[in-house]
Amino acid sequence: MNAMSLSRTAHPHLLQPLDLGFTTLRNRVMMGSMHTGLEDRFYNYGKLAAYFRERAKGGVGLIVTGGISPNRQGWLLPFGGTLNSIFDVRNHRKVTQAVHEEGGKILMQILHSGRYGYQPFVVSASAIKSPISMFKPKALTVSGIRSTVKAYVRCAKLAQQAGYDGVEIMGSEGYLLNQFLCIRSNKRTDAYGGSIENRMRLAVEIVSQVRAAVGPSFILMYRHSILDLVEGGNSWPEVVQVAQALETAGVTLFNTGIGWHEARTPTIVTSVPRAAFASVAGRLKQAVTVPVIASNRINMPDDAEALIASGSVDMVSMARPFLADSQWVNKVAAGRVDEINTCIGCNQACLDHTFANKRASCLVNPRAGYETELVYRNATRKKKVAVVGAGPAGLSAATVAAECGHDVTLFDSSDRVGGQFNMAMQVPGKEEFSQTLRYFARRLEVTGVRVQLGQRMTREQLLEQNFDEIVVATGIVPRTPRIPGVERTNVVTYLDVLQRKMVLGSRVAIIGAGGIGFDVGEFLLHDPAVALPVSIEDWCREWGVDLQAQSNGGLVPAEPAKPYRQLYLLQRKTARVGAGLGKTSGWVHRAVLQRNGVQMLSGVDYQKIDDAGLHITVNGEARLLAVDHVVLCAGQESLCELMPPAGATTAPGAPRFHTIGGAALAGELDAKRAIREGAVLAASL
């Protein structure tokens, strides 16, 4: 893109090239590292290459692979992706070749997990177990440190042979190099422990020896932990001292990392304000002379453009947003920002999968990681398709079917599209969910889907219109549990609260502690007088984050707001309340409710509801919860009355019926499954 056309875009700074001296990046947008799971098996490198090819074709300036270990001790999981032998180079070449063919540049991330490894060979600075792995590490001996440095050097040289444009050395999120840097995990008394000069020795040796081995024209990016967010993390002067030493040792540019994985402060979930930590990266830029990259919760171009335009940082890194939309940069350059499929920070299909040792994908883009398997091809015969229900499943089915060339009509009895997502986006901290509806609304226009809202279709009406395929995506109805008194006026459903905005009393009991029970809890705890989304300052106060990092690790005492209501969150199961929530986000929801004094009870038997409140027994003991209202969040039942009865015979030429999403299975109602099912079905029509 030339200077003239750049000045015509709304995001000129973002699209400006970045000259690194020996090479130039085509713009200021980096796809940060995201472990997909494909890196871990040699036979998946074809799929990995297709995944990166699509992103490079989408215009991104620089790509970083998922973490690749320099040796066995550095594995995150048993047999995790490793580059320590010439035999691995051929696989990696598939990736670099694909990216280069599309005009992109790619770095390989070298990640040594240290004590975060979920395998028996783990090592660290000291023999101190992390709270998130069951394996206690061995403290590296000095000769072990030397071989670790050699392993990094060998790995970087092999990456160079494989055609990578450089490497990113992972020094943040609490992995090995971060473990050496901080007194939290480094209690050594030798030349690698004690003073900050000693604690940074390993990182500096790795950078200087890698630089010496790869020469001056190879990108050497270091991901530096600029806010550890754990007790015993580094102070700001230490962060700066380490960065300056690493720059001298040969770093080309700094990526930034926020928070260790064991931190109890959220850093990337959807409730973290957008670009919350970018100011800290801006402070690092003041202290070094090489370019600095801001990361974490940057997902849309306006925020990214503002950061670059202000000169605060040189580039932005986004990892998950490129799972959500491989064409992010091309859309920005073409002024089609309203067509971006925005990452909503849910973690449900990416990080939750990674931590469950499953292939990462994306809730809003089920093709991510499945580029060769879920393909939206032009249909060989254009069919007339009806999709009934404009929730996530129906939206996905309708837009993919239209993209494949079918003639699609989408029906919904409501006067707007979105189904359950319209409720999710009412929840404080889930404002991003509205972006998915904006995306789908625009996608319906772009793909030419006919939309008929405010009309409840019957099977007969559908049959009259000669559709070839009828997709039933009518969703669910909330379940009403059989509890004496459930019909009283002080008993409401989550729809009354989130959709109809019914005003409730100051004491409320929530029946059902699934995702929706937690959502309703967070909604009811919010003081309606306080504007949403919360500002970065208020969020930092609430979680005890000091962006100035005056204190070690950037932690200060939290100052949570006074609870707005007295809440009880109840379930019949005896398991811990919230145990079924997402692995990487559930703890945040539990922490919010705990901080607000919500009483979470499991093993509950519901007896009756009357004027006095909700009568329950907990582990056999009778209790009265004196509440003004009871909210039912007791799961859902499928709404699939449009489906022909099971076993019904189909006349020749009659349409084929399909059911997807909550209409197919309410028990596991979830947007990830709904969107994927819609896309998979539509691609197969």
Q: SS3 of 34, please?
A: coil
**332 lines the binding site for ligand SF4 (CB under 6 A):** no
Q: Which of 282, 384, 670, 680 binds ligand NAP (CB under 6 A)?
A: 670
Q: Which of 210, 221, 307, 363 binds ligand SF4 (CB under 6 A)?
A: 363
**633 lines the binding site for ligand NAP (CB under 6 A):** yes
How long is the chain? 685
Q: How many helices and strands, by DSSP H and E, does the chain display?
A: 22, 27
Distance CA 246, CA 222 (A): 8
Task: With beta carbons less than 8 A apart as the criterion, state whether 372 and 394 touch.
Answer: no
The tokens describing 661, both together, are 């999403």
DSSP string of 326-351? TTHHHHHHTT-GGG-----S--TTTH
350 binds, among ligand SF4, ligand NAP, none (CB under 5 to 8 A by kind): ligand SF4
Q: SS3 of 256, please?
A: strand
Distance CA 550, CA 234 (A): 10
**519 lines the binding site for ligand NAP (CB under 6 A):** yes
**346 lines the binding site for ligand SF4 (CB under 6 A):** yes
Nearer to ligand NAP, 167 or 437 (CB): 437
Phi, psi at 247, each rounded to 5°: -60, -45
Nearer to ligand SF4, 344 or 400 (CB): 344
**636 lines the binding site for ligand NAP (CB under 6 A):** yes
Q: Is 568 a catalytic residue?
A: no
**583 lines the binding site for ligand NAP (CB under 6 A):** no
349 binds, among ligand NAP, ligand SF4, none (CB under 5 to 8 A by kind): ligand SF4
Please report how the helices 586-595 and 515-525 are oriented relative to each other, as an axis angle in degrees rounded to 10. 40
**56 lines the binding site for ligand NAP (CB under 6 A):** no
Q: Is the dihedral of CA 69, 73, 79, 83 positive or negative?
A: positive
Q: Which of 216, 335, 454, 481 binds ligand NAP (CB under 6 A)?
A: 481
Distance CA 231, CA 541 (A): 17
Nearer to ligand SF4, 288 or 349 (CB): 349
Q: Which of 200, 243, 344, 470 binds ligand SF4 (CB under 6 A)?
A: 344
Q: Which of 634, 642, 674, 679 binds ligand NAP (CB under 6 A)?
A: 634
Residues contacting 126, CB < 8 A, separation 6+: 137, 139, 185, 186, 187, 188, 193
Q: Which of 364, 387, 520, 679 binds ligand SF4 (CB under 6 A)?
A: 364
345 binds, among ligand NAP, ligand SF4, none (CB under 5 to 8 A by kind): ligand SF4
DSSP string of 569-612? EE-SSSSPTTTTS-TTTHHHHHHHHHHTT-EEE-SEEEEEEETT
Task: With beta carbons less than 8 A apart as the criterion, state whether 483 and 606 touch.
Answer: yes
For residue 671, the minimal CB distance to ligand SF4 (Å) is 9
Q: Which of 130, 571, 584, 596 binds ligand NAP (CB under 6 A)?
A: 571
The tokens describing 406, both together, are 């079918």
**58 lines the binding site for ligand NAP (CB under 6 A):** no
364 binds, among ligand NAP, ligand SF4, none (CB under 5 to 8 A by kind): ligand SF4
320 binds, among ligand SF4, ligand NAP, none (CB under 5 to 8 A by kind): ligand SF4
**505 lines the binding site for ligand NAP (CB under 6 A):** no
Distance CA 84, CA 156 (A): 9
238 binds, among ligand NAP, ligand SF4, none (CB under 5 to 8 A by kind): none
**324 lines the binding site for ligand SF4 (CB under 6 A):** yes
Select which of 175, 222, 568, 606 is catalytic.
175
Distance CA 596, CA 515 (A): 18
Nearest in space to 60 (alpha carbons), one of 9, 106, 109, 108: 106
Q: Which of 59, 114, 345, 389 binds ligand SF4 (CB under 6 A)?
A: 345
The tokens describing 425, both together, are 């986006």
For residue 532, the minimal CB distance to ligand NAP (Å) is 17
- Could you tell me the maximum CA-CA distance found in the chain, to the nearest angstrom? 82
**603 lines the binding site for ligand NAP (CB under 6 A):** no
**516 lines the binding site for ligand NAP (CB under 6 A):** yes
Nearest in space to 271 (alpha carbons), one of 546, 632, 593, 675: 593
SS3 for 302-319 is HHHHHHHHCCCCCEEEEC
516 binds, among ligand NAP, ligand SF4, none (CB under 5 to 8 A by kind): ligand NAP
Q: Which of 349, 395, 457, 666 binds ligand SF4 (CB under 6 A)?
A: 349
Distance CA 605, CA 600 (A): 14
For residue 358, the minimal CB distance to ligand NAP (Å) is 16
**484 lines the binding site for ligand NAP (CB under 6 A):** no
**416 lines the binding site for ligand NAP (CB under 6 A):** no
Q: Which positions lie near ligand SF4, rule CB under 6 A?
A: 320, 323-324, 343-350, 362-364
Q: Which residues are catalytic?
A: 175
Q: Which positions lie near ligand NAP, rule CB under 6 A?
A: 479, 481, 511-519, 571-573, 580-582, 589, 633-636, 668-670
